[in-house]
Structure 1
């Protein structure tokens, strides 16, 4: 990649990032109520995204040699940890660490 191509790529990425960050604030200013479908999407999309991520993470489990045991243990650990501490970052980090320990050292 030449220097000119690199600069054009960086500018395109910066502009794309800035547009996606600032556009919602321009379309929906603070004093204006968002449309009903935007409010609906704000309520359902977080759960849909989490469900999609869980399915994506577990898609290769039937092909694994451990039959999903480390995944199941990590999921149960995440659920218990989140119910106990109610801290999303701790749940994600703790579950990831436990899963990596299980995959690297146990199974």
Structure 2
């Protein structure tokens, strides 16, 4: 499918405006001396761990425990991510090292 240049530029501009809008909206709503509602504070504390747990479940949902290696690479990588994140508190480091570890385990060891 061929798309003309104006359509591509329009799509990119729309994506940029929407992305910028989602970044600016919290400052417009809660900036200055306005108090952040308790519901928003609660969601800010609860949602990140809930999303991580959802991603973990999504990643291991297809692991077949009846066939070797029985999920060992997945659980080793999850453990490494958890330990690194608790130790260093660096999302990029823990996810990057965990992904690299998983790929090494899957491609070279198992």
TM-score class, shorter: 0.7 to 0.9
Deviation at 1:65, TM superposition (A): 4.9
- Aligned equivalents of 1:47 and 1:82: distance in 2? 12
Question: Which residue number in structure 1 is paired with residue 53 of structure 2?
Answer: 51
Normalising by structure 1, we get a TM-score of 0.85
Deviation at 1:26, TM superposition (A): 0.3
Matched, 1:105 2:100: no
**Which segments of 5 or more consecutive residues in structure 1 lack a partner in the other structure?**
none
Deviation at 1:2, TM superposition (A): 0.7
Question: Which residue number in structure 2 is paired with residue 26 of structure 1?
Answer: 28
Deviation at 1:72, TM superposition (A): 1.6
- Aligned equivalents of 1:14 and 1:47: distance in 2? 28
**Which segments of 5 or more consecutive residues in structure 2 lack a partner in the other structure?**
none
- Aligned equivalents of 2:59 and 2:85: distance in 1? 19
Normalising by structure 2, we get a TM-score of 0.83
* Structure 1 runs, 4 residues or longer, greater than 6 Å off: none
Q: C-alpha offsets along residues 37-68 of structure 1, whole Å, 9 cap, x if unaligned?
A: 11110110111111111111111112765221
Between the two proteins, the alignment pairs up a number of residues equal to 106
- What root-mean-square deviation, in Å, do the aligned CA atoms of Structure 1 and Structure 2 show? 1.9
The answer to which structure has the higher helix fraction is: 1
- Aligned equivalents of 1:86 and 1:5: distance in 2? 44
Question: Which residue number in structure 2 is paired with residue 42 of structure 1?
Answer: 44
